[in-house]
A and B are shown apart, each in its own frame.
Chain A
Amino acid sequence: MKEIYLDNSATTPLYPEVITLMNRVQELTFGNPSAMHEKGIAAEKLINAARRQVAHVLGVSGQEVVFTSGGTEANNLAICGGARRNRKRGNHLITTVFEHPSVLNCFRYLEREGFKVSYLPVNRSGLIDLEMLQYEITLATTLVSIMHVNNEIGTVLPLAAIGQVIKAKNPRTLFHVDAVQSFAKLPLDPERWQADLISCSSHKIHGPKGAGCLWIRKGTQLDPLFHGGGQEMGMRSGTENTTAIAGFGLAAQLSGSAQSDQAATMVALKNAFIKEIEKQGIAFSINGPNPENAAPQILSLAFSGFKAELLLHSLEEKNIYVSAGSACHSRHSKPSHVLKAIGLQDDLLNSSLRFSFSALNSLEDVTLAAHKTAETIRHLKTLINQ
Chain B
Amino acid sequence: MSTILVRYGEIALKGRNRGQFEQQLQRNLKGALHDLEATITRHHGRFSVHCPDAALQQATMRLRRIFGLVSFSPVYETALDIEAIKEAAAGIVKELPAGNKTFKIMARRSNKEFPYNSPELNQILGAHLLQCYPDLTVKLDDPSFILEVEIGYQNTYLCLERIPGPGGLPVGCSGRALLLLSGGIDSPAAGWLAMKRGLSFEAVHFHSFPFTSKRSQEKAVDLCRKLMLYGHNIPLHQISVTKIQEALRKNCPEDLGVILLRRMMLRLAEKLCELRKLKVLVTGENLGQVASQTLDSIDVISKATRMLILRPLISFDKLEITAIAEKIDTYETSILPYEDCCTLFVPASPVTKPKLAIIERYEQNLDLDFLLEEALETLETQIIK
The reply to whether the CB of A276 lies closer than 8 angstroms to some CB of chain B is no
Give Cα A309–Cα B211 distance, bound, in whole angstroms: 8
Contact B213 A313 (CB under 8 A): yes
A314 to B242, CA, bound (A): 11
A309–B209 contact, CB under 8 A? Answer: no
> Cβ of B339 < 8 Å from any Cβ of A?
yes
Contact residues of A between 364 and 386, Cβ < 8 Å to B: 382-383, 386
Cβ–Cβ < 8 Å partners of A386 in chain B = 249-250
Q: What 1/0 mask marks residues of chain A from 137 to 164 whose CB sits below 8 Å from any chain B CB?
A: 0000000000000000000000000000
Listed residue (A313, A316, A333) with the most chain B CB atoms within 10 angstroms of its CB: A313
Question: Which residues of the partner chain A approach B326 to less than 8 Å between Cβ atoms?
Answer: none
Q: How large is the interface on B (under 10, 10 to 19, 20 to 34, 35 or more residues)?
A: 10 to 19
Determine the distance from Cα of A316 to Cα of B337 in the docked complex, in whole angstroms: 19
Counting CB contacts under 8 A, is A310 at the interface? yes
Q: Are A310 and B250 in contact (CB under 8 A)?
A: no
Given A307-B344, A310-B344; A383-B209 close (CB under 8 Å): no
**Across the interface, do B211 and A313 meet the contact criterion of CB distance under 8 Å?**
yes
Least Cβ distance of A365 to chain B in Å? 20
Number of A-B residue pairs with CB-CB distance less than 8 Å in the complex they form: 33
Contact of A383 among B212, B214, B246 (CB under 8 A): B246
Q: Is B99 an interface residue (CB 8 A)?
A: no
Contact A383–B250 (Cβ < 8 Å): yes
Counting chain A CB atoms within 10 Å of each CB, the highest count among B209, B210, B337 belongs to B210
In the A-B complex, the 4 residue pairs with the closest CB atoms: A313-B210, A314-B210, A317-B210, A333-B337
Contacts of B209 in A (CB 8 A): 313, 316-317
Report the Cα distance A273→B344, complex, angstroms.
Answer: 28
Shortest Cβ gap from A312 to chain B (Å):
8
Beyond A307-B344, A332-B337, A333-B337, whether A313 also contacts B212 by CB under 8 A is yes
Q: Output the least CB separation between A252 and chain B (Å).
A: 33
Q: Which residues of B contact A332 (CB under 8 A)?
A: 337
Q: Is the CB of A310 within 8 A of B249?
A: no
CA distance A316 to B212 in the complex (A): 11
B interface, CB within 8 angstroms of A: 209-215, 246, 249-250, 337, 339, 344
The reply to whether B214 and A316 contact each other, CB–CB distance below 8 Å, is yes
Closest A-chain residue to B209, C-beta based? Answer: A313
Taking CB atoms, residues of chain B closer than 8 Å to A317 are 209-210
Roughly how many angstroms separate A313 CA and B337 CA in the complex, as a whole number? Answer: 15
Contact A382 B250 (CB under 8 A): yes
- In the complex, chain B residues whose CB is within 8 Å of the CB of A382: 250
Residues of A contacting B246 in the complex (Cβ-Cβ under 8 angstroms): 383
B249 neighbours in A (Cβ, 8 Å): 383, 386
Smallest CB separation, A28 vs chain B (Å): 37
List 8 interface pairs A-B (beta carbons < 8 Å), by A numbering. Answer: A313-B210, A313-B211, A313-B212, A313-B213, A316-B214, A331-B215, A332-B337, A333-B339
Q: List chain B residues, Cβ under 8 A from A312.
A: 210
Q: Enumerate A307-330 residues with CB–CB distance to B below 8 Å.
A: 307, 309-310, 312-317
Contacts of A314 in B (CB 8 A): 210-211
* Extra contacts besides A310-B211, A386-B250 (16): CB < 8 Å: A310-B344, A313-B209, A313-B210, A313-B212, A313-B213, A313-B214, A314-B210, A316-B209, A317-B209, A317-B210, A331-B215, A331-B337, A333-B337, A333-B339, A382-B250, A383-B250
Residues of B within 8 A of A316 (CB): 209-210, 214
Whole-angstrom CA separation of A317 from B209 in the bound complex: 8
CB proximity to B under 8 Å, residues A53-103: none
| Chain A residues, CB < 8 A from B211 | 310, 313-314
Task: Say whether B337 contacts A310, CB under 8 Å.
Answer: no
How many Å from the CB of A17 to the closest CB on chain B? 31
Cβ contact within 8 Å between A309 and B337: no
Q: How far is the CA of A312 from the CA of B339 in the complex (A)?
A: 13
Q: How far is the CB of B211 from chain A (nearest CB, A)?
A: 6
Cα distance A331–B214 in the bound complex, in angstroms: 12
Q: Kindly state the separation between the CA atoms of A309 and B344 in the bound complex, as whole angstroms.
A: 10
A contact residues around B250 at 8 Å (CB): 382-383, 386
CA distance A89 to B337 in the complex (A): 44
Give CA–CA (A331, B210) in the complex, Å: 16
